[in-house]
């Protein structure tokens, strides 16, 4: 009697593993790009929300509220300017919030501006403080050289906030 053993031989298993490997190589890049873009969108939405909160707080409390961050940093500070000098002083100004951005997200430019009691943006010399905040995702730059995701947050002279894709100038 001829008995046949049911199962898979090593060649069939290797073919299946090669097919799975090829499919994973094709799928992993879009997944990594998607995750990186979601982190950047999360950071942008968090900053816009904090900017709106600072603007509303400055109007309701009739005080200067500001944001500051250094280029290359992955955190920023929302503060109340108690002395009215339009600058951030660690001792005299009140830190409302310190926020750490998701991993791989950094500021491309130095950020400093305030909202006055009317909700209008002011700069470090208390002049009209139209500003742009540029965020970049550095997580994928080491892995994929041609992927550079940047978002620009624009605050115009009336305190309106908008989000632009890429490293583009704000039209105020």
- pLDDT of residue 120 exceeding 80, the answer is yes
> How confident is the model over 124-154, as pLDDT tens digits?
778 887 888 999 888 766 565 556 688 999 9
Confidence of residue 172 (pLDDT cuts 50, 70, 90): low
> How confident is the model over 55-96, as pLDDT tens digits?
999 999 888 898 988 887 788 999 998 887 888 888 888 888
Where are the domains positioned within the chain?
10-165
**What is the percent of the chain where pLDDT is above 70?**
92
Specify the pLDDT at position 72.
Answer: 76
Predicted TM-score of the model (pTM): 0.80
Cα distance between residue 157 and residue 62, in whole Å = 18
Specify the pLDDT at position 42.
Answer: 92
Instruction: Report the mean per-residue pLDDT for the chain.
Output: 85
Specify the pLDDT at position 166.
Answer: 85
Per-residue buried b or exposed e for 15-33, using 16+ beta carbons within 10 Å of the residue's own CB: eeeeeeeeeeeeeeeeeeb
Give me the residues paired with residue 134 across strands: 152
In CATH terms, 10-165 corresponds, of 1.10.10.920, 3.20.20.70, 3.10.310.10, 3.55.40.10, to 3.55.40.10
């Amino acid at each position: 009697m001829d008995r046949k053993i049911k199962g898979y031989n090593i060649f069939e298993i290797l073919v299946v593993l090669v097919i799975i490997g090829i499919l994973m190589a094709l799928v992993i890049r879009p997944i990594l790009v998607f995750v990186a873009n979601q982190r950047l969108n999360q950071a942008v939405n968090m900053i816009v929300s904090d900017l709106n909160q600072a603007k509303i707080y400055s109007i309701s409390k009739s005080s200067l509220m500001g944001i500051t961050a250094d280029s290359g940093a992955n955190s920023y500070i929302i503060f109340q300017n108690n002395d009215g000098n339009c600058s951030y002083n660690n001792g005299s100004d009140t830190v409302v919030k310190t926020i750490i951005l998701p991993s791989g997200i950094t500021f491309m430019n130095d950020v400093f501006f305030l909202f006055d009691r009317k909700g209008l943006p002011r700069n470090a010399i208390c002049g009209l403080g139209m500003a742009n905040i540029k965020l970049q995702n550095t997580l994928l730059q080491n892995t994929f050289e041609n992927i550079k995701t940047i978002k620009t947050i624009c605050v115009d002279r009336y305190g309106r906030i908008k989000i632009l894709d890429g490293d583009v100038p704000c039209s105020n």
